[in-house]
Amino acid sequence: MPSLFVIRGNDQGARVEVDATPFSLGRDTDASFQLHDTEVSRRHAEIRRAGGSYLLVDTDSSNGTFANGHRVVQHTLNSGDQLQLGGTVLLYTQPAESSATRRLLNVNIIGQAEPVDGSRIVSSISHEEGSRIFAAGQLTPWLARARNNLQVVYDTALAVSHTLDIDELLRRILQLVFDSVDVDRGCVMLIDADTGRLEPKAYLDRADSPGGETIRISQTILDYVLETREGVLTSNAVEDDRWDSAASILQLGVREAICVPMQGRYDVVGAIYIDTTTPAADAIRRPGVTRLGDDHLKLLIAIAHQAALAVEDTRYYSAMVQAERLAAVGQTIATLSHHIKNILQGVRGGSYLIELGLTDHDEEIIRKGWDIVEKNQTKISNLVLDMLTFSKEREPDLQETRLNETIADVVELMQTRAADLEVRLTWSPDESIPMLILDPDGVHRAVLNLVTNALDACDSVDDPLVEVATRWCPDDGVVHIIVADNGVGMSSDEVERMFTIFVSKKGGRGTGLGLPVTHKIVHEHGGRLDVETEPGQGSRFVIELPATLPTGITQPHTTAASPQADSRPFSLDELADLESLHGDDAGEFDADTGPGSDFPEDE
């Protein structure tokens, strides 16, 4: 399906598919693609289908419709065409027609076993011969110049394909010109998109004087080149009626000059200027001596065209990147605004209850209101922390850490929420885990996000259960942190998108930041995050972190008789046995008494 992409104008970055014809373009709100440009007519143009082609038709617009720099009334569209309506420039793209794909089926490679036409090889040449053309021996002067010019064009093509830095590209091209043409000074100028004026972007002086010599370029020549799109070679502007005698290049200390337009696919993007300098007295005394000719003019036009194409490609690429960046920023703002609005509504509701309780001197209402405010304060705090963690490149703050204590703090923190949701939250630490070098705050944040998601996933199931556990794997040099639930689980499509920012299966209750942040923290530690899940069967997340021991501590070894010898994390199939696994021996986690006792009821 064809599409239009705005690369310049008020709607820059907008993209729309031409899904039906006629497809109208204009300022009218009923237009298929509304352009917010005062120079665009209400009904400016239409795209119509004509057989297998698409036509751009001007519908009596005030300022006209342009295709590839030419005003048109009707134009057959080709993929890559640049369209201009008022001050808005659009790029038209169209996927290859199926007929073009079918034509490829007409190509048939004959196998060795099939009859052939009896052809035979009469000549062959090594692939290295292509580069040897430029190193030929004795050549006629004309052929030598042609070979040198071809070499310069070849080098220019290589230069434009190796960089997206326009300034560096223009300096390189100017150096190539100086290597092949005997000139004294050169300058590359690009048209500024805002002012429409030529701005110098690269300058080279063969004399290489300290500070550089100021180059004075005749505005008359520049205007002529840009208006006619012709390259010019001049050696005495006084005798040429195209130039203003007051601005003669001879008066500027210039003996000869070449100026060519940088003509791209759609428009002129700038100009290249080179000249030779000589004192006026020498120029009058030796009028017949020249260093520049038509061959140099043709060479410079070819170079300028290559440079212009590279400038256009780079600008288009930059526009695409900027459009994607703006789209991402817009999505971020919209998503965060939605979540912050929901949180503020909760704060407002809690504040209302507090105010009502203060008025009625009702402590119970005040406490309920404060609980609501506190919960939403926690939400906004978590949102801000997740945003900071995800957006900032950071190195983990590695320090000696007791991993079980860090995870136990997460479980303790989430017990109140688990009780509110009537979810059983259990904790099974592996007591053989030694002191490790980790970022405790980062690990805390990562596990907190997983436990929060696990509790939410159990919201609508019978006998909801979330288990948090650690496993020490000394032989593999890693430690596992497991968070498992018997909740709703995830489909394969949801698993593929679970680390995509702002993608949440919780609807309006989720920010879509938790799992991406957890994945980022684990990656910063050099670890990995695995998930095993099935719809309706729960989920099991395993964080695997490298077990780096502090200096001077030897790695403990488990024995076959050790209760910790089986360091394999439990699987989904074992979730059904969690009741017996965490009965009287393990119990639920209690902040005061630790593992082995029941979690106390709220008083």
Express each pLDDT in 215-230 by its tens digit: 777 788 888 888 888 8
Question: For residue 117, what are the CA distances in angstroms to 111, 112, 114, 133, 254?
Answer: 12, 12, 10, 33, 65
Least trusted range by pLDDT, from 116-125, 307-316, 331-340, 342-351: 116-125
> What is the Cβ-side half-sphere exposure of residue 155, based on CA atoms within 13 angstroms?
17
Beta bridge partners of 88: 85
Q: Read off the pLDDT of residues 455-486 as tens digits, 9 standing for 90 and up.
A: 888 877 888 999 999 999 988 889 999 999 99
Residue bearing the bigger pLDDT, 222 or 574? 222
Contacts of residue 254, Cβ cutoff 8 Å, sequence gap at least 6:
275, 276, 277
Q: Taking residues 57-61, what's their average pLDDT?
A: 93
The DSSP bridge pattern shows strands 23-26 and 33-34 to be parallel
On the question of pLDDT at 107 being above 70, the answer is no
pLDDT band at 593 (very low <50, low <70, confident <90, very high): very low
User: Residue 527 in contact with residue 447, Cβ under 8 Å?
Assistant: no
Residue 435 CA to residue 398 CA, distance in Å, equals 12
Neighbours of 589 (CB within 10 A): 26
Residue 179 CA to residue 186 CA, distance in Å, equals 12
596: left (phi over 0), alpha (psi -120 to 50) or beta: left
The C-alpha R_g of the chain, in whole angstroms, comes to 36
On the question of pLDDT at 246 being above 60, the answer is no
Question: For residue 214, what are the CA distances in angstroms to 217, 220, 335?
Answer: 10, 18, 54
The values of phi and psi at residue 259, to 5°, are: -135, 125
On the question of pLDDT at 159 being above 90, the answer is no
Q: Is the dihedral of CA 447, 453, 457, 462 positive or negative?
A: positive
* H helix or E strand, kind and range, residue 522: helix 514-524
Q: Read off the pLDDT of residues 348-359 as tens digits, 9 standing for 90 and up.
A: 888 888 888 898
CB neighbour class for 439 (10 Å; exposed up to 12, middle 13-18, buried from 19)? buried
Q: Read off the pLDDT of residues 446-455 as tens digits, 9 standing for 90 and up.
A: 898 899 889 8
pLDDT at 469: 94
Q: Is the dihedral of CA 18, 21, 24, 25 positive or negative?
A: positive
pLDDT at 585: 40
* Core vs surface per residue 519-533: b (16+ CB within 10 A) or e: bbbbebbebebeebb
pLDDT band at 85 (very low <50, low <70, confident <90, very high): very high
Please indicate, yes or no, whether the overall pTM of this predicted structure exceeds 0.75.
Answer: no
CB neighbour class for 136 (10 Å; exposed up to 12, middle 13-18, buried from 19)? exposed
Whether residue 569 has a cis bond before it, omega within 30° of 0: no
Q: HEC profile for 135-189?
A: HCCCCCHHHHHHHHHHHHHHHHHHHHHCCCCHHHHHHHHHHHHHHHCCCCEEEEE
Least trusted range by pLDDT, from 90-99, 187-196, 420-429, 435-444: 90-99
Residue bearing the bigger pLDDT, 567 or 412? 412
Q: Taking residues 389-410, what's their average pLDDT?
A: 82
Q: Read off the pLDDT of residues 278-308 as tens digits, 9 standing for 90 and up.
A: 654 554 455 555 677 788 888 888 888 888 8
pLDDT at 595: 38
Least trusted range by pLDDT, from 163-167, 198-202, 269-273, 546-550: 163-167
Beta strand ranges found along 455-514 (DSSP E):
465-473, 478-485
Neighbours of 584 (CB within 10 A): 9
Q: Taking residues 555-575, what's their average pLDDT?
A: 43
| Residues found in the chain | 603
pLDDT at 402: 92
Q: Taking residues 129-143, what's their average pLDDT?
A: 54
Q: Taking residues 512-519, what's their average pLDDT?
A: 78
Q: Taking residues 147-174, what's their average pLDDT?
A: 71
pLDDT at 304: 86
Q: Read off the pLDDT of residues 259-283 as tens digits, 9 standing for 90 and up.
A: 999 888 878 889 999 888 765 455 4
On the question of pLDDT at 160 being above 70, the answer is no
3-state secondary structure of 72: strand
Question: For residue 244, what are the CA distances in angstroms to 55, 159, 250?
Answer: 44, 37, 12
User: What proportion of the chain, given as a percentage, has pLDDT over 70?
Assistant: 67
pLDDT at 563: 37
pLDDT band at 44 (very low <50, low <70, confident <90, very high): very high
Residue 114 CA to residue 493 CA, distance in Å, equals 47
pLDDT, the chain, mean: 75
pLDDT at 360: 86
pLDDT at 97: 56
User: Residue 556 in contact with residue 474, Cβ under 8 Å?
Assistant: yes
Residue 506 CA to residue 483 CA, distance in Å, equals 18
On the question of pLDDT at 136 being above 60, the answer is no
Residue 400 CA to residue 403 CA, distance in Å, equals 9
pLDDT band at 76 (very low <50, low <70, confident <90, very high): very high
Residue 91 CA to residue 67 CA, distance in Å, equals 10
Q: According to the per-residue pLDDT averaged within each range, which of 210-214, 296-300, 388-392, 423-427 is highest?
A: 423-427
Residue bearing the bigger pLDDT, 570 or 15? 15
The DSSP bridge pattern shows strands 53-58 and 478-485 to be unpaired
pLDDT at 198: 87
Beta strand ranges found along 184-231 (DSSP E):
185-191, 198-205
* H helix or E strand, kind and range, residue 489: none
On the question of pLDDT at 406 being above 60, the answer is yes
On the question of pLDDT at 330 being above 70, the answer is no
Residue 476 CA to residue 544 CA, distance in Å, equals 11
Q: Taking residues 529-549, what's their average pLDDT?
A: 89
Q: Taking residues 382-392, what's their average pLDDT?
A: 69
Least trusted range by pLDDT, from 133-147, 154-168, 512-526: 133-147
